[in-house]
């Protein structure tokens, strides 16, 4: 069913130059280990009882839901960064929240912003944070570059 609830998730990031912005994005997906799948973008929840696993190889061509931040740039020398953050609360029956952010700039600054974003999202829900994870990547563009950070849902 389309309405199935995933049971596993993992975090990945990647960056690459490429022939065009889409080729650079493809290279970033490949470097992140999810380049041969069909990523379907979704907004941005980890289901309750979903377990974090280490990144695994996915079946080629599988339809894979993911929450991701991505950025491309065609300005040689520009630094670009992408990051995702994930917050879980104490009650295991409540879902986790994912936020995504990308911008030119250094990874540290962009990852700090996305961590604040997820804190704000949990505050809005009134859910105390038990655990906050994030992953970010920065990339200095050669000609046409892309950076990507993702939470991938899996089963």
Surface-to-core class of residue 94, CB atoms within 10 Å of its CB (0-12 exposed, 13-18 middle, 19+ buried): middle
In contact, 133 and 111? CB cutoff 8 Å = no
Query: Quick one: 80 or 84, whose CB is closer to a second copy?
Result: 84
> How near is the Cβ of 77 to a second copy at its closest, in Å?
22
**101 contacts a second copy (rule: CB under 8 A):** yes
By annotation, the residues acting in catalysis are 38, 43-44, 100
**89 contacts a second copy (rule: CB under 8 A):** no
> How near is the Cβ of 11 to a second copy at its closest, in Å?
16
Q: How far apart are CA 112 and CA 90, in angstroms?
A: 22
Angle (CA) 84-88-91 rounded to 5° is: 165
Among 76-84, 104-112, 119-127, 132-140, which window interacts with a second copy (CB under 8 A)?
A: 119-127
DSSP state of 92: T
Per CB under 8 A, the list member of 75, 116, 142, 143 interacting with a second copy is 116
Per CB under 8 A, the list member of 56, 125, 128, 131 interacting with a second copy is 125
Among 60, 63, 50, smallest CA distance to 11 is for: 50
Render 49-90 in DSSP notation, one character per residue. T-EE----PPPTT-EEEEEEEEEEE-STT-EEEEEEEEEEES
Among 15-23, 77-85, 104-112, 129-137, which window interacts with a second copy (CB under 8 A)?
A: 15-23
List of residues contacting a second copy (CB under 8 A): 1-6, 18-20, 22-23, 25-27, 29-30, 36-48, 50, 59-65, 67, 94-95, 97, 99-101, 113, 116-117, 120-121, 124-125, 153-155
């Amino acid at each position: 069913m389309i309405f199935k609830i995933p049971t596993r998730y993992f975090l990945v990031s990647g960056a690459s130059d490429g022939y065009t912005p889409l080729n650079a994005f493809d290279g970033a997906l490949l470097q992140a280990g999810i380049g041969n799948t069909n990523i379907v973008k979704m907004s941005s929840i980890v289901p309750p009882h979903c377990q974090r696993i280490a990144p695994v190889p996915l079946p080629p061509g599988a339809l894979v839901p993911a929450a991701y931040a991505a950025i491309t740039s065609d300005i040689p020398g520009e630094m670009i960064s992408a990051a995702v953050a994930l917050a879980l609360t104490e009650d295991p029956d409540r879902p986790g929240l994912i936020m995504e952010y990308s911008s030119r700039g250094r990874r540290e600054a962009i990852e700090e912003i996305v961590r604040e974003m997820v804190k704000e999202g949990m505050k809005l829900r009134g859910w105390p944070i038990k655990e906050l994870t994030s992953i970010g990547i920065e990339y200095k563009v050669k000609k046409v570059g892309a950076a990507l950070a993702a939470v991938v849902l899996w089963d």
